[in-house]
Every structure is written in C-alpha cells, then in structure tokens.
Amino acid sequence: MRYRYNTTNLNGCVIRIFFPPPPYLELTLNPPEGIIAGPITEENYFEWEALITGPEGTCFEGGVFPAKLIFPSDYPLSPPKMSFTCEMFHPNIYSDGRVCISILHAPGDDPMGYESSNERWSPVQSVEKILLSVISMLAEPNDESGANVDAAKMWRENRDEFNKIAEKLVRKTLGIPTNT
C-alpha cells in the first residue's frame, strides 16, 4: 500500500513539526547574532563555511573569523569537524585551525576524564548549537584541555600578551595592517 501526502491544507505549524526545515535553511532564515553559515555549494551539503564574529567584551571583539565545517556521511550520528581557515591563537584551537571543543567530540565517555558524556556530541545537537558553543569558547577558553599549549599557558600566565596577539589577529581578519 502506498500513501500519498497532501500538504496543501496544512498550516505552517504542522508543516514545521512534521517537515522540519533543513539546518542550513534555519540558519539562513533566522541566523543567531554573530554567525553566518551554510553549505559552500548546493551540490554538496557536507561542506559548510561559516563566518563567526568575535564576542563583544573579549580580545576577539570586532573580528570576523572564517571557518569550515565538514560533515561525515553518518551525520547526525557522528559530529562534524570544524576548523578556522584563518590564523587563530587560542587555547582550544590547534595551530592548523582545528577546533577542540566538547560538543565536537564523538559520543561516549572521555577516556581522559575531562568531559562528561552529556557535554559531548549527540544527534540532537544542531549546527547552530555548535557555532554558539564556539563563540562561547572564544570568550571563555578552557585552558586545562588546551589544543594549543602555548596559547593556554599564555592565557593563564600573561593575559596582556595573549590579548595583544588576539587583537592583532582581529585586525588581520579585517584586512587592517598590523604593527609587528
């Protein structure tokens, strides 16, 4: 038996419940403040680009940081990978731009014991939640699980120098010359 659905008489609420918009459409129609994101091309929804604005009141304020998200074929069971495509100096960002944050770590328990399983990826997480978590990470780094040991140490021991480096990167993302 084959069922046919006629959605012409359904109101918008019912359509949204039974036919939720794809994540990219939701981000396009109602983007959170400080974030622009979506697929690089319409032919490949597994690669996204994002622009993240540095959080207000932080050393990253005013910067516009480009990033890339790569979704695995088994998404949403597995988390995407995220990396910044510009130079970043941050305790939770590797020198090659990869982001190290709990929400992007595979489901399950952390063998190192730093993260609880409810902080890690689960299929109910959204791209929006990932990007908001990254903005939060920029504002409040976790210097105990540093992907960039030098940045983590500087964040703890010499915050003024850390802020100078971050502010230089902000200027660089905006195409403003920096005094080296």
pLDDT tens-place string over residues 120-143: 888 888 899 999 999 999 999 998
CB within 8 Å of 26: residues ≥ 6 apart: 126, 128
Query: Which residue in this structure is represented by tokens 């050393």?
Result: 59
- For residue range 67-119, what is the model confidence (pLDDT) as tens digits? 999 999 998 899 999 999 999 999 999 999 999 998 998 876 555 556 666 77
Percent of the chain with pLDDT over 90: 57
Q: What are phi and psi of 11, to 5 degrees?
A: -80, 165
CB within 8 Å of 147: residues ≥ 6 apart: 91, 92, 93, 94, 98, 99, 100
Query: Which residue in this structure is represented by tokens 């091309």?
Result: 41
Distance of alpha carbon 47 from alpha carbon 143, whole angstroms:
29
pTM to 2 decimal places: 0.81
* Domain range annotation of the chain: 16-173
Q: What angle do CA 104, 45, 33 make, to 5 degrees?
A: 60
Percent of the chain with pLDDT over 70: 80
- Give the model's pLDDT for residue 180: 59
Return the H-helix or E-strand segment holding 171.
helix 159-173
Give 16-173's CATH code, choosing from 3.30.360.10, 1.10.150.530, 3.10.110.10, 3.40.50.10190: 3.10.110.10
At 110, the amino acid letter reads D
Burial readout 137-171 (b: 16 or more C-beta within 10 A, e: otherwise):
bbeebbbebbbbeebbebbeeeeeebeebbbbbbe
Active site positions, annotated: 100
